[in-house]
Chain A
Amino acid sequence: MRSSEVAQPNRRQFLSSTAIALLLGSTGRGLGETIAGSPPWKPFDASPPQTLGSGTWYFLTPDEVRTVGAITERLIPADELSISGKDAGCVEFIDRQLAGSYGSSERLYMKGPFQPGTPEQGDQFPLDPRQRYRLGLASLQAHCRETYQKAFADLPPEQRDQVLTQLQTGAITLKDVDAKAFFALVLQNTMEGFFADPIYGGNKEMVSWRMLGFPGARYDYRDYIDKHNQKLDLPPLSIAGRSEWRVKD
């Protein structure tokens, strides 16, 4: 019984899939293209990163925005090194990622069968990130209202830290999602938002890059190869440029 659950193709499946492959292989004209001379080139040809404009929310509801803000503010608190994750735009980043292909797991195989995998196999969830946020935030809210008679965002910072720690360790259970996995997802996305290029909504004014001394999206260091043991202090550079590009008045 056990062995039949594992996705081992039987003889019939193997034969039919081979037949389909042969059929596609023989009738398709193929996507290949013969290029003679120099490779093709078109004016204005570019594949810029896909970004969503600021000033509006694309996936999160106002209530969810408040909750995610209250979480990211505690995961990366404002301190002497930097502003908080919330102030750096992590909520905007998460909102835009959920609205895009990441949120719908567009680039993942999502047809199942779903079963627990090894840690090396990564996410094996049937839910995509949008569903995990929607259900996870609602469950977290329900837990806080039940336990503290308050929304998560209205809890004092210490209490929020306590709830987050309980999520992280699995000390509390959420109704619709795995608490530990939900915490791990939000932590992961918050870090991504804090350190990704500002064009994606987070890392406002390259705050994390300035904190680390990371010079940003540069690609040519030939002029620095011979400068051994010197502090270069290169200002960070975003895909969208940097403030030095602007004409100073």
Chain B
Amino acid sequence: MPVSKRLGGAAFAALVVAAIPVGAQVTGDAAFSQVEKGRDLAVLGDCAACHTAPGLPPFAGGVVLQTPFGNLVAPNITPDIETGVGRLSLQDFQSVMSKGIGKGGYHLYGAMPFTAYTKVSAQDNAAIWAYLQTLEPVKNKIEPNQLPFPFNIRASLIGWNLLNFTQGEFKPDPKQSPDWNRGAYIVEGLGHCGTCHTPKNLIGGDKNSQFLEGATLQGWFAPNITADPHKGIGAWSEDEIVQYLKTGANRFDIASGPMAEVVEKSSQHWSEADLKAVAVYLKAGRNGEAKAPAPLPAGDKLMAAGQAVFADRCMGCHVATGAGVPKLFPRLAQAPLVNSDDPTTLIRVVLAGSRAGTTRAASTGPAMPSFAWNLSDQDVAAVLTYVRNSWGNAAPAVSAKDVASLRTSLQP
């Protein structure tokens, strides 16, 4: 019996596959390519990161975003009339993307990165909208606004927008190459890289003067991805940036945590041209020009303790010189994340362990084990201080107090 059921399922699947080209011919090639373009753009912008929750149908919403002000839940963007975006028109969608204003005139919270999406062209929005129309409508009611008073009052966002939002489509810079302009369009617009990588002000707006200089959110530090040679990715070549985004790993680093999801769901599927464009743009960006700080002296007591912990617990994979093993064990020497002022991700990875993203090109997904059971707060502080001040690295010491507080928040 089960065998015949399975055969039936396969036959059904074959029918569905066969039905797609037929439907496309009915609505015309232009509409088909518009939908396909929208599908690619939805991947480029990684809409699924927030609008597809694990275990729920695609784009049915439900991912909870923890902000410093409270929780926001990404809405259902399938064309369901009651619980999705079935009542919205293309104009409504355009207003969401470019102005952050929903149907009926209410203001969206900045968790929906309209401050970046405002740069997306109207043509691209139309394609994304055409694609969203083809999704299966899913009934899944979501209350996006779960913020406490007074943040739950949307009118407060009028003031927020005045301070934090500049509306307007991306304007190419004629002095720059087409690649640079395409890269800028992706990074500043649909790719919304700054949502994680740009530091936030007290009310959660982007500090645009520090664009892509690294920020902490949801217990992770998204590192500096400017061309800064010490804290950023200035040492990475264009090809190495492409390799990282396409495969999740290059000779410097391996994507893990939220970036692993970005690579898995989004950037591994980008076109070669888009990957190249983003690399060109990031490489040509500001490089901070801040002078690298001096490392702690090797005779430091914390450094000596950290060196012992490193030799006994880390060296087996990350090797004595901090060089790691390309594509398998991340390099610690001259790594942007290691040299960041904020050690949140480093502490987290040592305590909880971490899993590399898996892509079609790099499917192994090597994992770092958890050391929370074996290393005390002081041990973690010492070993990270050592790592952050060896092999050309230089960054502030990590305190046992920082480790203790992250340990409590991650494992209450």
Contact = CB atoms under 8 A, between A and B. Distances in A.
Contacts of A106: none
A220 interface: yes
B297 to A, nearest CB: 15
7 interchain residue pairs of minimum CB distance: A38-B365, A220-B316, A43-B352, A244-B308, A48-B373, A41-B355, A38-B358
Interface of A: 37-39, 41, 43-46, 48, 218-220, 223, 237, 239-242, 244-249
B249 interface: no
Given A41-B355, A43-B352, A248 B304 contact: yes
Contacts of B372: 44, 46
B188 interface: no
B309 A245 contact: yes
Contacts, number: 73
A44 B301 CA distance: 29
Interface string B333-364: 00000000000000000011111001000011
A37 B363 CA distance: 8
B370 A45 contact: yes
Interface string B27-71: 000000000000000000000000000000000000000000000
Given A43-B370, A46-B372, A248-B301, A218 B312 contact: yes
B367 interface: yes
A interface, over-half SS: loop
Assign chain B's interface to a size class.
20 to 34
B309 to A, nearest CB: 5
Interface stretch (B109-117, B164-172, B231-239, B374-382): B374-382
A38 B355 CA distance: 10
Given A37-B358, A241-B379, A245-B305, A44 B370 contact: yes
Given A44-B352, A219-B316, A245-B309, A239 B382 contact: no
A247 B301 contact: yes
A48 B315 contact: no
A248 B382 CA distance: 12
21 contacts: A37-B363, A38-B364, A38-B365, A41-B367, A43-B353, A43-B354, A43-B370, A44-B351, A44-B352, A44-B353, A45-B370, A48-B374, A223-B315, A223-B320, A237-B312, A241-B312, A241-B375, A244-B304, A246-B378, A247-B304, A248-B301
Contacts of A247: 301-302, 304-305, 378, 382
A246 B305 contact: yes
Interface in B363-397: 363-365, 367, 369-370, 372-375, 378-379, 382
Contacts of B358: 37-38
A46 B350 CA distance: 12
B411 interface: yes
Nearest to B368: A41
Nearest to A47: B373
B312 A242 contact: yes
Given A46-B372, A48-B374, A218-B312, 20 more contacts: A38-B365, A39-B365, A41-B355, A44-B370, A44-B411, A45-B370, A46-B369, A46-B374, A48-B373, A239-B374, A241-B312, A241-B379, A242-B308, A244-B308, A245-B305, A245-B382, A246-B378, A247-B304, A247-B382, A249-B301
A191 B308 CA distance: 29
Given A43-B352, A237-B312, A244-B305, A38 B363 contact: yes
Interface string B99-124: 00000000000000000000000000
Nearest to A45: B370
Nearest to A246: B305
Contacts of B365: 37-39, 41
A238 B411 CA distance: 26
Contacts of A245: 305, 308-309, 312, 379, 382
A39 B363 CA distance: 10
Contacts of A43: 352-354, 370, 410
A43 B351 CA distance: 9
Nearest to A48: B373
Interface centre among B312, B315, B372 (most CB of A within 10 A): B312
Contacts of A239: 374
Contacts of A220: 315-316
B269 to A, nearest CB: 16
A4 B407 CA distance: 62
A249 B411 CA distance: 31
A41 B315 CA distance: 22
